[in-house]
């Protein structure tokens, strides 16, 4: 029986996941910890990552400094994301539901709206880029291929959690093999000359930190839905193991394809990154370029399916906060189609040069909005409540977590306002960023400030009363996890 399906069902319908925002009972927790590595490797080693990798070269850094900046940003972004992954097995819930204790049932609506925009945006950007890639491969009309690939992502999202893991497992194997061939081939062939890595030249702190921030923000976007893909794992899963495997997938997957993007930009600065990948791949041997594009496209297709899936979960969570809903298979299908179909239409209409002109700014804004949330959420989970939550109370309209939580909302707002003077965007430069010569450290200021502010605001939180309510409400927690239709 597939996770979340009814035992009496047979055929194709039985393979469609039933569960959405509801609690996953222990009897259905059969996930594999190694799957956390493969789902995030394939989700990260994909065509969109090429654009992030090319940012440093476009700003004047050489390949050596660009790779160092990308590595630092990847690691910094991975730390909170991997920490969020531990929340799935512990609570058996999707990521966004878990924001209710920190912000309240209504207070978290802004967080969910932001998450839905990120999910939807990746579907749009992914479909658009896959359409462009298909055109580069000579396969025909870009908008048509954007629609085709988005439809495939929607179908994969409908089948759900188990099939997304299976798909990304297979795609990971193909990606690992082809990336190794690409890098080794270019190295042996002499394309990666030592001069490209000369650290005595072309260093500039401002663009270096732009690249670090871009890689960090890009990696951090996965924090919105990382525990969506760990919630079917046993509750006793080792935190160290899940953090390790999630980190391996995120770091190796993201850095590998961002590095490929940087290599393409360094070797062929006048070409777009898809054309650059085709040319550099074919330098190793004819046909490797198209294989690289196809493999990266498959990874992107898997990520789009994950975003449709995560967008559906978040949309259901938001609706349930305003008007409680029964999380049936039917509402899963409706919300998946809502996110997927609108994303498909937009993907077919977005200009093909959007990534080249706007990606760095988009990633910076996402990082600004994400930093306060991830700080508050992780501080609450690891330092304040220490993982002690009531799943039942999270779904009660008048539960112990309330409609509005002033502590989480205040910490978020204070953190964001403190970050503003450090921001540097195409349309705004904060006074501190100006004094620093355009260097943007807003994200790196925001994360520790968010931790500290929320922790201080929670010093008088009555956890004893919460513990009593948790013991009462969740004493028969698995009884609420019956398979539903």
Give pLDDT tens digits for 166-187. 999 999 999 999 999 999 999 9
Distance CA 153, CA 138 (A): 22
* Dihedral, CA of residue 363, residue 175, residue 310 and residue 242, to nearest 10: -100
Asked if 79 contacts 248 with a C-beta cutoff of 8 angstroms, the reply is: no
Maximum alpha-carbon separation in the chain? 67
pLDDT band at 355 (very low <50, low <70, confident <90, very high): low
**Any domain includes 410:** no
Give pLDDT tens digits for 369-407. 888 999 999 999 999 999 899 888 898 888 899 999 999
Q: What total of structural domains would you count in the chain?
A: 1
Domain region containing 222? 28-359
Give pLDDT tens digits for 62-117. 999 999 999 999 999 999 999 999 999 999 999 888 999 999 999 999 998 988 98
Please give the pLDDT value at position 425. 83
Residue 7 has, within 13 A of its CA and on its CB side, a CA count of 3
**Any domain includes 230:** yes
Asked if 40 contacts 78 with a C-beta cutoff of 8 angstroms, the reply is: no
Residue 17 reports pLDDT greater than 70: yes
Distance CA 368, CA 121 (A): 16
**Any domain includes 177:** yes
pLDDT band at 118 (very low <50, low <70, confident <90, very high): confident
Average pLDDT over residues 136-161: 93
**Any domain includes 366:** no
Burial class (CB in 10 A: 0-12, 13-18, 19+), 271: middle
Please give the pLDDT value at position 426. 78
Please give the pLDDT value at position 4. 44
Please give the pLDDT value at position 39. 96
Asked if 224 contacts 96 with a C-beta cutoff of 8 angstroms, the reply is: yes
What's the whole-number average pLDDT of the chain?
89
Average pLDDT over residues 13-21: 83
Please give the pLDDT value at position 360. 66
Please give the pLDDT value at position 479. 65
Task: Tell which wins on pLDDT, 360 or 383.
Answer: 383
Residue 272 reports pLDDT greater than 90: no
DSSP conformational letter for 429: B
Pick from 32, 94, 28: nearest CA to 237: 32
Distance CA 48, CA 46 (A): 6
CATH code where residue 164 lies? 1.10.4160.10
Distance of CA 212 to the CA centre of its chain: 17
Please give the pLDDT value at position 417. 96
Please give the pLDDT value at position 11. 62
Please give the pLDDT value at position 359. 65
Angstrom CA distances, 419 to 422, 446, 450, stand at 5, 6, 10
Residue 349 reports pLDDT greater than 80: yes
Please give the pLDDT value at position 7. 47
Residue 194 reports pLDDT greater than 70: yes
pLDDT band at 208 (very low <50, low <70, confident <90, very high): very high
Task: Tell which wins on pLDDT, 474 or 246.
Answer: 246
Q: Where are the alpha helices (DSSP H) in 137-193?
A: 142-159, 161-188
**Any domain includes 337:** yes
**Any domain includes 340:** yes
Angle between helices 239-267 and 35-44 (to 10 degrees): 20
Point out the least confidently predicted range of 89-93, 237-241, 253-257, 470-474: 470-474
**Any domain includes 23:** no
- Percent of the chain exceeding pLDDT 70 equals 94
**Any domain includes 429:** no
Give pLDDT tens digits for 277-307. 999 999 999 999 999 999 999 999 999 999 9
Please give the pLDDT value at position 83. 93
């Amino acid at each position: 029986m597939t996770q979340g399906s009814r035992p009496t069902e047979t055929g194709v319908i039985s393979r469609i996941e039933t569960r959405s925002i509801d609690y996953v009972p222990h009897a259905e927790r059969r996930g594999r910890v190694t799957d956390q590595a493969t789902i995030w490797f394939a989700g990260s080693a994909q065509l969109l990552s090429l654009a992030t990798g090319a940012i440093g070269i476009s700003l004047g850094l050489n390949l050596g400094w660009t790779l160092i900046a990308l590595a630092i940003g990847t690691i910094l972004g991975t730390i909170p994301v991997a920490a969020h992954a531990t929340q799935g097995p512990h609570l058996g819930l999707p990521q966004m539901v878990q924001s209710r204790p920190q912000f309240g049932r209504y207070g978290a609506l802004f967080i969910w709206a932001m998450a839905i925009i990120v999910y939807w945006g990746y579907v749009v950007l992914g479909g658009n880029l896959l359409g462009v890639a298909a055109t580069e491969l000579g396969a025909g009309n870009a908008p048509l291929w954007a629609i085709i690939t988005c439809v495939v992502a929607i179908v994969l999202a409908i089948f759900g959690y188990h099939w997304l893991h299976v798909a990304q497992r297979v795609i990971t194997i193909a990606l690992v093999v082809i990336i190794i061939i690409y890098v080794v081939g270019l190295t042996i062939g002499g394309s990666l000359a030592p001069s490209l890595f000369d650290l005595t030249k072309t260093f500039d702190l401002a663009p270096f930190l732009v690249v670090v921030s871009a890689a960090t923000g890009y990696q951090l976007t996965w924090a919105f839905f990382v525990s969506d893909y760990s919630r079917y794992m046993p509750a006793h899963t080792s935190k160290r193991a899940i953090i390790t495997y999630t980190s391996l997938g995120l770091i190796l997957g993201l850095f590998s394809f961002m590095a490929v993007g940087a290599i393409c930009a360094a070797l062929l600065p006048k070409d777009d990154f898809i054309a650059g990948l085709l040319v550099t791949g074919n330098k190793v041997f004819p046909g490797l370029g198209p294989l690289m594009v196809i493999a990266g496209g498959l990874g992107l297709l898997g990520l789009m399916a994950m975003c449709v899936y995560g967008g559906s979960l978040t949309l259901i969570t938001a609706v349930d906060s305003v008007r409680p809903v029964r999380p049936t298979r039917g509402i899963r299908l409706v919300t998946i189609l809502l996110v997927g179909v609108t994303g498909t239409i937009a993907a077919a209409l977005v200009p093909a040069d959007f990534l080249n002109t706007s990606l760095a700014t988009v990633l910076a804004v996402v990082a600004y909005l994400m930093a306060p949330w991830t700080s508050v959420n992780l501080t609450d989970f690891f330092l304040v409540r220490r993982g002690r939550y009531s799943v039942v109370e999270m779904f009660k309209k008048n539960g112990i977590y309330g409609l509005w939580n002033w502590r989480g909302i205040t910490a978020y707002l204070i953190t964001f306002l403190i970050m503003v003077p450090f921001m540097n965007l195409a349309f705004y430069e904060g006074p501190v960023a100006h004094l620093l010569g355009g260097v943007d450290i807003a994200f790196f200021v925001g994360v520790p400030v968010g931790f500290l502010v929320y922790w201080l605001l929670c010093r008088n939180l009555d956890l004893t009363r919460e513990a009593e309510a948790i013991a009462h409400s969740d004493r028969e927690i698995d009884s609420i996890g019956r398979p539903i239709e």
